[in-house]
Amino acid sequence: MEKVVSVMLVLLNGVLAYLINQLPAKDELLSSDIPNSLIFWLTGACFALIIWLTLKANSSSSTGTTTNGNWLSSLLPLIGAVILFGLLKFAHLPEQFNQGLFYTSLGLFIVGVFLPVLVLAQGIWPTNQTLFLRISYWVLMGVGVFGVLGFSFKAQWGLVILCLFGTITLILSPILQKLIKNIHQRVTPYYQAWLENLLDKIASKFEFGLWEKISSFENKYSKSLIDKLSSYKVEGFRIGLPVLELEDVFISLQVVTEIPDKVSGSMIQPKINHESHEIWNFLAKIKDFDAYRCLAILGAPGSGKTTLLKYLTLTYAKKNHKKYNVPKFTPVFLYLRDLRHQIITQPPPNLADLIKEQIEKLPASSPLIPPKNWIEEELKQSLVMLDGLDEVADETERDAVSQWVNSQMKTYSKTAFIITSRPHGYTYLEQVGTVLQVLPFNIQQVRQFIKSWYLHTEIRSHAKDNPAVRQDAQQNAEKLIEKIIYNRAIADMATNPLLVTMIATVHYCGSALPGRRVELYEKICSLLLGARQEAKKIQRPLTAKQNQAVLQVLALALMQKQKRTFTLSEGEAIIKQELAQVAGNRLTPHDFLEKEIKRISGLLIERDLGNYEFVHLSFQEYLAAVQVKDLQQDTLLTDNIHDPWWAETIRLYAAQANATTLIEKALENHTVASLCLAYDCRKEGLRVKPTVGQRLDDILERGLESDDAIIAKLAAEVKLSRRLNNLLKIKETLAIDTGYISQAEYFIFAQVKQNNTSGDFQPSQARHPKTDINLTDALAFCAWLTDRALASQTPVYYRLPTINECQSYPPKGQISLNSWTVGNPLTSPPTPLLQGEGSNSLPQVLEYGIRVVEAQLPSEYVILAGYLATSDWQKADRETTAILRQATNDGVLDAAALANLPRETLCILDFLWLSYSGGRFGIGIQLSIWKILKGKPLPKYFPRNFYSQNPNSRTNMFSALDELFVKCRIERSLLRFNFEIVTVNRPGNITQQQTGQACYFIEDLGQNTFLEMVDIPGGTFMMGSSDNDNEKPQHQVTVSPFFMSKYPITQQQWKAVASLPKVKRELHLDPSYFKGDNRPVEKISWLDAVEFCQRLSSKTGRDYQLPSEAQWEYAFDISVA
């Protein structure tokens, strides 16, 4: 930018000097007139000097310093010269001044053409030139002052004006420079983007126009690339659907830098918790980091490597790269599998020759003949993309291709390269500076792809784009997304771009998922085992069906041995006989497993050194089910009907055969697992005898309402088990229930944990949501689910959803209830939710149901969950501190460390404490009470160990945690309960009824006794009564927030506190006349009540006291409630 301005300033000064030189001068000046040629030569010399300095700045090792806007000072001579030119041109000054002004303007021209040169040179030699400019500044100022004084004595006023003007301009130059720079900085944002776009358009038009005059080859080349690569097709997957445009469905892949040996070849991969980038991030920095000039992109089969390169090529061919802020490249896309024969010849061709050969093969209306030297010149600014090193099947040939690629990267040192490969086919390339791994799709990317794919498939199928077509596409896409995330095996498969495309295609063609998922497995296996290689014209020894026949034998043998992994020698022994039947002597078992299946198809992976397994257990189960069907050995499945290992294989067999025998066998022994499996076989089975299906329906559906307690409980267990197995996956490690826990399901928990006190229901209400419970019950239910999961070695925990989760994933197909949640939104406190007004209002009941969220539980939290499950709060407290220390960098727990805790750590700790304590304990509870009490620490409240060891920094630690809760948007709240407010008139009729909600916490008094303290928000009210009442007059009172016990202190609560150490006076343990643990305590004095509060304060660390009259009246004021 500054170089361009400097050039413009030199040229403008030259033009202005020429104009000034054309002004009429007096006769005595004619002899000293400056020739135009001198002006042109001086301008040209400075222009050349500017260009040289620009090149010098670009190549100098000290480049990096800038002139910081000093070119603005170059404007001053130009401005001065323009002003003087105007005065001379229009004769606004006395004629005697013409001579001085004439020379002054020409002098400014000389300064104007040299100053940009000096400023630009300063960016290259900043130290010396800065000193030179400073000296020049004071020398010129001294000369100017001396000239003014000297010429004044000689009465040469023209020269006085000349020197005075130059001196004043020089003195004011720093101020004017700052002023102009300030104006420039303020104005630039308003015009810079517009100006850049305008210049880009002009430059683009100019470039295209100029190129059209010289040659149309580049445009033809770009068009041919677009024609060849713009379609999105899965090679080998032919199903008759319209071909889509790649740009319409492309989802930007995420990549991470990785060591080649650590890149997995598995088609289905776990989530990688590393910071990821897009490929554009690396291309944008090619000129700054030489390590990014040659990139290798590694990924599993179907991970999108080729599609990514095609998209890059299209982007550059269409000149759309500018939106990614990357350098301009000429794209070159080459399939290495198509070039291997030329490359392995001796001597091998160079890259330019191969590119020329491939260009001539591109589709075009007339043959594409590159202009002479065009390829060699373009390679200096090209992005050469070499796809599929692994697809050069022969190892010797692949090594030769690798060496050739490495040599070309070295020869064309100014060319950018990207080479792709599966991990097994990549060998070390010395010239490759960075290796990138393609990451699998996350849930959001899966959603985005399916929606785009469905939309454009519908538009092309109907040959029109209107609201009706878009609505159908949206609805069908949502159905597919829902089915994918409900089936975890398919959800895992959908993270692979190739597999999710196949899933969408199968679903679009009418095959419901997961009901007909066997068809999906069939198509995927066919594609991976042969059809895709055939489409790429890669010759393989066996067909897809032959490959599958051998793998079926391996899969069934592994199922019978109840194992996933096998050594190469074990696998060879299993498939030896079947392979000999289909391949004869063409292929050894070793080559079949290692090359054909592992490297080419990707269905087998080497999990660790020497141990192999199928890429996903579901493929092993599917192939085993097909083998059982082919062998007609369904007795193998019926004999294992109660073995969980065979459950998925049984389901997949049922989906392609008659499931009647399997269901009958499952019904012989009524267990939860067998009935769940029977239900799935009934739902997915290809054929089921009607009488058997009805029998199962009677047991499961009607069993929920059965009077037989055993059958009803079994049906409820099946219902709960299926619910937890079909949660809606919303993140990689998070799933939410889309319905409410039913009466029947809650009853299982109530029988175990609540001695059936709150689980009773009428059989006809079995399917209805459980609503007659409080938040403590809902939290306890989640803790019970977590206990069951951990007892079965399943590393998950269950919790209530957040409000945001409830709003983002509303319940499906049921009446909408309020949901118990773990907290309130951070933006507003709890408010009354339902209310009715007027004498005709009907009572409205606020009902809450239970929805659960399942989250992954890292292994380091299992011990804590065990302590919490047994209510061992002390050990759980110490374990919490240990986890917090482990989560910090240096193990030190202070405010700074807590402020940087990972969000996941804080969430898991808070959810576990909240659930297992029934809402009494938790970091969020701590903070809520702490804020309500205006910053008083809580040393007696769990978890407390982590801050009690630092008494001097408790406030800072609590402040840091509070800020972290807000920053991470973790919802937190005290426990909540609903209450009804009824207003009656004097006869006792209800005139108004409303439902409200209040927050509270539970104080543990010991001896299994608890005290509920309700949060009373602060506010202002009118205390007293009207003038005709004894409590007159009314007056306004402001009350700060406080807690008040929900009920009067009971005799049991009194005993628990009265047993604590004395503070000032003795307390009678049982002073009441009317006996009963839950009756209010009575027959105590005011001093006894004060002692009660003091002992309670000593135990809890909080300031308990009796309520004032204002607090008492305010708490019961109807407007406050």
Q: What is the pLDDT of residue 558?
A: 93
The CA–CA distances, whole Å, from 977 to 152, 344, 740 equal 96, 78, 19
Q: What is the pLDDT of residue 107?
A: 63
**Are 747 and 761 a contacting pair, CB within 8 Å?**
yes
Whether pLDDT at 1112 is above 80: yes
What is the C-alpha end-to-end distance of the chain, expressed in Å?
A: 67
- Answer with the residue of higher pLDDT: 373 or 1092: 1092
**Are 537 and 504 a contacting pair, CB within 8 Å?**
no
Residue 554 confidence class, pLDDT cut points 50, 70, 90: very high
- Answer with the residue of higher pLDDT: 600 or 1072: 1072
- Mean pLDDT, range 1012-1030, rounded to an integer: 76
Count other C-beta atoms under 10 Å from residue 125's C-beta.
Answer: 14
Most confident of 144-148, 649-653, 1006-1010: 649-653
Residue pLDDT, tens place only, 174-203: 676 677 777 766 766 666 666 666 656 555
Residue 234, in any domain of the structure:
yes
Q: What is the pLDDT of residue 38?
A: 53
Task: Work out the mean pLDDT of the chain and round it to a whole number.
Answer: 77
Rounded CA-CA distance 356/409 in Å is: 17
- Mean pLDDT, range 624-634, rounded to an integer: 93
Whether pLDDT at 64 is above 50: no
Whether pLDDT at 979 is above 80: no
CATH code, domain with 1107: 3.90.1580.10
Percent of the chain surpassing pLDDT 90? 22
Residue pLDDT, tens place only, 765-782: 888 899 888 888 888 899
Whether pLDDT at 307 is above 80: yes
What tokens appear for 869 in the block?
Answer: 């499950």
Q: What is the pLDDT of residue 519?
A: 77
DSSP string, 522-580: HHHHHIIIIIHHHHTT---SS-HHHHHHHHHHHHHHHHHTT-S-EEHHHHHHHHHHHHH
Residue 993, in any domain of the structure:
no
Is residue 848 located within the same domain as residue 869?
A: no
In DSSP terms, 611 is beta-bridged to 567, 608
* Residue numbers of the domain that contains 787: 707-853
Q: What is the pLDDT of residue 418?
A: 96
Question: Which of 607, 631, 655 is a domain's end point?
Answer: 631
- Mean pLDDT, range 313-336, rounded to an integer: 92
Residue 827 confidence class, pLDDT cut points 50, 70, 90: very low
Whether pLDDT at 334 is above 90: yes
Lowest mean pLDDT among 36-40, 346-350, 734-738, 975-979: 36-40
Whether pLDDT at 868 is above 90: no
Is residue 272 located within the same domain as residue 413?
A: yes
Residue 660, in any domain of the structure:
no
Is residue 827 located within the same domain as residue 878?
A: no
CATH code, domain with 561: 1.10.10
Lowest mean pLDDT among 263-277, 457-471, 568-582: 263-277
Residue 51 confidence class, pLDDT cut points 50, 70, 90: low
Antiparallel, parallel or unpaired: β 818-819 and 848-849: parallel
Nearest to 947 by CA among 1101, 822, 813, 815: 1101
Whether pLDDT at 843 is above 70: no
Is residue 747 located within the same domain as residue 619?
A: no
Residue 80 confidence class, pLDDT cut points 50, 70, 90: low
Residue 493 confidence class, pLDDT cut points 50, 70, 90: confident
- Answer with the residue of higher pLDDT: 301 or 12: 301
Looking up tokens 């007293």 gives 1024
CATH code, domain with 276: 3.40.50.300
- Answer with the residue of higher pLDDT: 952 or 683: 683
Is residue 605 located within the same domain as residue 753?
A: no
Residue pLDDT, tens place only, 1061-1084: 999 999 999 999 898 888 999 999
Residue 841 confidence class, pLDDT cut points 50, 70, 90: very low
Question: What is the CA 267 to chain-centroid distance, rounded?
Answer: 21
Q: What is the pLDDT of residue 485?
A: 72
Is residue 758 located within the same domain as residue 888?
A: no
Whether pLDDT at 738 is above 80: yes
Q: What is the pLDDT of residue 68?
A: 44
- Answer with the residue of higher pLDDT: 1065 or 1000: 1065
Residue 716, in any domain of the structure:
yes
Whether pLDDT at 459 is above 90: yes
Residue 225 confidence class, pLDDT cut points 50, 70, 90: very high
Is residue 315 located within the same domain as residue 422?
A: yes
Is residue 60 located within the same domain as residue 180?
A: yes
DSSP 915: H
State the chain's maximal CA–CA distance in angstroms: 131
Residue pLDDT, tens place only, 703-714: 888 777 777 887
Residue pLDDT, tens place only, 465-487: 999 999 999 999 988 887 787 67
- Mean pLDDT, range 35-60, rounded to an integer: 54
Whether pLDDT at 138 is above 70: no
Whether pLDDT at 317 is above 90: yes
Question: Which of 440, 475, 504 is a domain's end point?
Answer: 440
Please, is 830 exposed, middle or buried when counting C-beta atoms within 10 Å of its C-beta (0-12, 13-18, 19+)?
middle
The radius of gyration of the chain from alpha carbons, rounded to an integer in Å, stands at 41
- Mean pLDDT, range 250-259, rounded to an integer: 91
Residue 274 confidence class, pLDDT cut points 50, 70, 90: low
Q: What is the pLDDT of residue 265?
A: 67
Does the predicted model carry a pTM greater than 0.75? no
Residue 214, in any domain of the structure:
no
Rounded CA-CA distance 69/5 in Å is: 10
Residue 495, in any domain of the structure:
yes
Is residue 610 located within the same domain as residue 723?
A: no
Is residue 877 located within the same domain as residue 943?
A: yes
Is residue 36 located within the same domain as residue 173?
A: yes
Q: What is the pLDDT of residue 312?
A: 95
Residue pLDDT, tens place only, 342-397: 898 888 899 999 999 999 889 888 888 888 888 998 999 999 999 988 877 677 88
- Mean pLDDT, range 690-702, rounded to an integer: 81
Question: Which of 535, 560, 588 is a domain's end point?
Answer: 535
Residue pLDDT, tens place only, 103-137: 666 565 556 555 555 555 544 444 444 555 555 66
Angle between helix axes 672-684 and 690-700 (nearest 10 degrees) is: 130
Residue 209, in any domain of the structure:
no
The CA–CA distances, whole Å, from 806 to 427, 447, 823, 981 equal 50, 19, 11, 27
Is residue 752 located within the same domain as residue 773?
A: yes
Residue 59 confidence class, pLDDT cut points 50, 70, 90: very low
DSSP 818: E
Q: What is the pLDDT of residue 125?
A: 41
Q: What is the pLDDT of residue 681?
A: 85
**Are 1053 and 1025 a contacting pair, CB within 8 Å?**
no
Give the chain's domain count: 7
Residue 699, in any domain of the structure:
no
Whether pLDDT at 500 is above 80: yes
